[in-house]
Chains A and B, each alone.
Chain A
Amino acid sequence: MSIISVKDVSFSYNEKKLGLKNVNIEIKKGEWIAILGHNGSGKSTLAKTLVGLLEPQSGEILIDQVLLNDESAYELRKKIGIVFQNPDNQFVGVTVRDDIAFGMENLCIPREEMLEKIDFYAQKVGMKEYLDKQPSNLSGGQKQRVAIAGILAMHSDILIFDEATSMLDPYTRSDLIEYIKTLNKEGLTIIMITHDVNEALLADRMLILNQGEVYAFEATNDLLKKPEVFRECHLELPVALEVASKVESQKIKEKLWEYVLTK
């Protein structure tokens, strides 16, 4: 049963340029998907069409078997949380606390509950000491953490991260990834847009976009065996895979693949 199905979706910002070309995707509940692609390949565009912020010129999108359109968008958005690329332009509140609360306020969550959740998620992203700070006093990575906390607090079924961990320090990032793993085990569907191949390796399946088209959408362990796909799309390969593509022995190859996946 697909929680997201994208059927033959095309989208263009203007006549000259197609943002997405005939995209077909099926994502099952509880899956972890990584979306990879060069700059301008349409990753953010796809994410925005999935939450109904951009309306495709053709094709249709179903979220939980419900057609996404202007009327259903408000209801469907409650199921999807998205963290955008630029943390500065999604900071709505005057303080960190206000910003984490914003989404919950819109969902009409009672105040007491909000306070508890703010504490919990601020702790999770390591921003508890900053709750009363204003965004102008925060670093880019700190704003990113706040944005993530604000989305996590809304308890959506599907989480989309559009390069949302790009500014985090390695320590915070791996902490957060661990937490996302537990959420994924609890049944949340995770979609991670990233330029970091190591982060993408955590996914069950990888979606590789190239010039607005789906270049590959396969299980991670299958894709690992096709380094040429990465090269053709100008993507970075983990060192171990680079090595694997060079060695002859099938045995060493398998060892290396295994190593990459368990890391």
Chain B
Amino acid sequence: MNSIIIGQYIPGKGFFYRLDPRTKIISVLFLMIAVFMLENITQLSIALAAAIFILLIGQISIIKVAKGLRAIFVLLIFTFVFQIALNTEGKILSQATLHFNLYSVLAIVLAFVFWRILLRLGKFKFLLFLAFVFGVYFILRYVGYGTDFYSFSLTIYEKGIEMSVFVIVRILIIITFTTVLTLSTKPTDLTHGIECLLRPLKKIGFNSEDFALIISLSLRYIPTIFDEAQKIMAAQASRGADFSEGKLKDKLKQIISLLVPMFIIAFMRSEELADAMESRNFVPGQSRTRINVLKFSMIDVYSGVFTLLCFAGAIVIKVI
């Protein structure tokens, strides 16, 4: 349950844990803009090297960042296929006709079944997926017997490969930055940092303190509400409800019978919570002192300078 409240945060002691959240948020923003200003693979490689350097000095394990990448895996594959299929600039690297016929479709089905079975082993999921994708490509390309019911010609251009690598590396770098931020910053510090950075918006009527309080209250109550759900499910199960089986219709009924009491309880809770806050003299929008304060230190200055240098470097490259 706790993994939900702390999000991606992993307790630790490295360099980034000591940085002020404000520094981290601003730096990530600037570094991301800088990365988007880069125009070719060479420049990006330098940025990638810088990102890895950042991971190393932060003593943040690359494996953990890689795990964070899993979430956008589909996005990466999609980008790759999209770029290769649609980019028609530069030299032609390969040209091939892809055949859809009885044999190739059968072979793909077999390959699919084979891939799902191998997946059960639980290891090398990523490599297996790549093997499956390439397998499909080779089957479509070389299994040309019989009559095709559909075929098209796929031409891969130099620019297509280059751009897909470029876009993917760019995404990788950006994900690295944001993962470093979320791995090393508690959600509460993150909200506090955002709150401080948004404070100037008070002039246009946006109260960042109340906003941050709402976010942290939500974070606070997520595990409580999950506990509640488990209790309700246990109560219903003890009266004979079965959550594991049944048709879609039964499942839907069960979900509704879980959601209704949860909503009612959540409403009652929020009302009592509002009472408790009010009785402890909370007035929305009124100024209050804070127990948690953020302080910049020397390492924030170093990091800020580093970020500025990177940003300036990117601007210089862009202009030249």
List chain A positions with a Cβ less than 8 A from chain B. 48, 51, 53, 74, 77-78, 80-82, 84, 86, 88-95, 97-98, 101-111, 114-115, 118, 134-137, 150-151, 154
User: In whole angstroms, what is the CA distance A256 to B107 when docked?
Assistant: 94
Q: B281 touching A136 by the CB < 8 A rule?
A: no
Question: Chain A residues near B278 (CB, 8 Å)?
Answer: 53, 77
Given A93-B220, A134-B5, A136-B5, CB of A108 within 8 Å of CB of B288: yes
Q: Is the CB of B275 within 8 A of A105?
A: no
11 additional contacts, CB 8 Å, given A81-B280, A90-B273, A136-B5? A74-B281, A77-B279, A81-B279, A88-B269, A98-B291, A102-B277, A102-B282, A105-B291, A106-B283, A111-B291, A154-B280
A-B contact pairs, 22 of them (CB 8 A): A53-B275, A53-B278, A74-B281, A74-B283, A88-B269, A92-B220, A92-B280, A93-B220, A94-B220, A97-B291, A102-B282, A106-B281, A106-B288, A108-B287, A111-B290, A111-B291, A111-B293, A134-B220, A134-B223, A135-B224, A136-B2, A136-B223
- Residues from chain B with a CB closer than 8 A to the CB of A97 are 291
Judge whether A110 and B289 touch: CB under 8 Å.
Answer: yes
Cβ distance B71 to chain A, nearest Cβ, rounded Å: 25
B79 shortest CB reach to chain A, Å = 37
> Taking the nearest CB of chain B, how far is it from the CB of A91, in angstroms?
7
- Determine the distance from Cα of A89 to Cα of B224 in the docked complex, in whole angstroms: 10
B279 touches A92 (CB 8 A): no
Indicate whether A51 sits within 8 Å of B293 (C-beta atoms), given known contacts A86-B272, A105-B288, A108-B288: no
User: Nearest CB to that of B282 among chain A residues?
Assistant: A106
Complex Cα–Cα for A107 and B286 (A) = 10
CA distance A150 to B308 in the complex (A): 44
In the complex, which of the residues A80, A92, A118 has the most CB atoms of chain B within 10 Å of its own CB atom?
A92
CB distance from A27 to the nearest CB of B (A): 18
What residues on B are CB-neighbors of A94 within 8 Å? 188, 216, 219-220
Q: Quick one: given A84-B276, A94-B188, are A77 and B281 in contact (CB under 8 Å)?
A: yes
Nearest-neighbour CB distance to chain A for B83, whole angstroms, equals: 43
Q: Is B227 an interface residue (CB 8 A)?
A: yes
Q: Closest CB of chain A to B7's CB: distance in Å? A: 12
Q: Please indicate which of the listed interface residues B273, B278, B280, B288 has the most CB atoms of chain A within 10 Å of its own CB.
A: B280
C-alpha spacing A48/B272, complex, angstroms = 11
User: Which single member of B1, B276, B283 contacts A89 (CB below 8 Å)?
Assistant: B276
The CA of A92 and the CA of B276, in the complex, are separated in Å by 8
Q: Which residues of B contact A111 (CB under 8 A)?
A: 289-291, 293
Contacts of A82 in B (CB 8 A): 279
How far, in whole Å, are A97 and B290 apart by their CA atoms in the complex? 12
| B77 close to A (CB within 8 Å) | no
**Contact A53 B279, beta carbon cutoff 8 Å:** yes
Q: In the bound complex, do residue A106 and residue B219 qualify as a contact, i.e. CB atoms below 8 Å apart?
A: no
List the B side residues contacting A135 at CB < 8 Å. 220, 224
Known: A106-B280, A107-B281, A150-B280. Contact between A89 and B273, CB under 8 A?
yes
Tell me the bound Cα distance from A135 to B286 in angstroms.
26
CB distance A92 to B275 under 8 Å?
A: no
Q: When each residue 278-320 of chain B gets 1 if its CB lies under 8 Å from chain A and 0 otherwise, what string results? A: 1111110011111111000000000000000000000000000
Q: Which residues of A contact B293 (CB under 8 A)?
A: 111
B contact residues, range: 20 to 34
Q: Which residues of B approach A to under 8 Å, CB–CB?
A: 1-2, 5, 188, 216-217, 219-220, 223-224, 227, 268-269, 272-273, 275-283, 286-293
**A90 near B272: Cβ-Cβ < 8 Å:** yes
Closest approach, in angstroms, between the C-beta of A133 and any C-beta of chain B?
11
Structural contact, B1 and A101, CB atoms closer than 8 A: no
Looking across the interface, which residue of chain A has its beta carbon closest to that of B270?
A89
Q: Which residue of B lies closest to A51 (CB)?
A: B279
Contacting residues, chain A, for B283 (C-beta < 8 A): 74, 106
Complex: A100 Cα to B291 Cα, angstroms: 10
With A94-B220, A136-B5, A136-B227 as known contacts, state yes or no: A84 contacts B281, CB within 8 Å: no
**A81 and B223 alpha carbons, distance in the complex (Å):** 28
Name the A residues within 8 Å of B292 (CB-CB): 98
Closest CB-CB distance, B276 to chain A, in whole Å? 3
In the complex, chain B residues whose CB is within 8 Å of the CB of A93: 220
Shortest beta-carbon distance, B294 to chain A, in Å?
12
Tell me if A92 and B291 are in contact (CB < 8 A).
no
Instruction: Please determine whether A102 and B280 come into contact, CB atoms closer than 8 angstroms.
Output: yes
Q: A105, A114, A137: which has the most chain B beta carbons within 10 Å?
A: A105
Check A90–B289 contact: CB distance below 8 A.
Answer: no
Report yes or no: A78 in contact with B276, Cβ–Cβ below 8 A: no
B280 touches A109 (CB 8 A): no
The smallest beta-carbon distance between B127 and chain A, in angstroms, is 38
Question: For residue A137, which residues in chain B have a CB less than 8 angstroms away from its CB?
Answer: 2
How far, in whole Å, are A91 and B224 apart by their CA atoms in the complex?
11
Nearest A residue to B222, CB-CB = A136
Instruction: Tell me if A48 and B1 are in contact (CB < 8 A).
Output: no
B289–A103 touching, CB < 8 Å: no
B292 nearest CB across to chain A (Å):
7
Q: Which residues of A contact B223 (CB under 8 A)?
A: 134, 136
B216 to A103, Cβ gap below 8 A? no
* Measured CA separation A82–B279 after assembly (Å): 7
Chain A residues near B286 (CB-CB < 8 A) = 106
Distance in angstroms between the alpha carbons of A151 and B280 in the assembled complex: 8
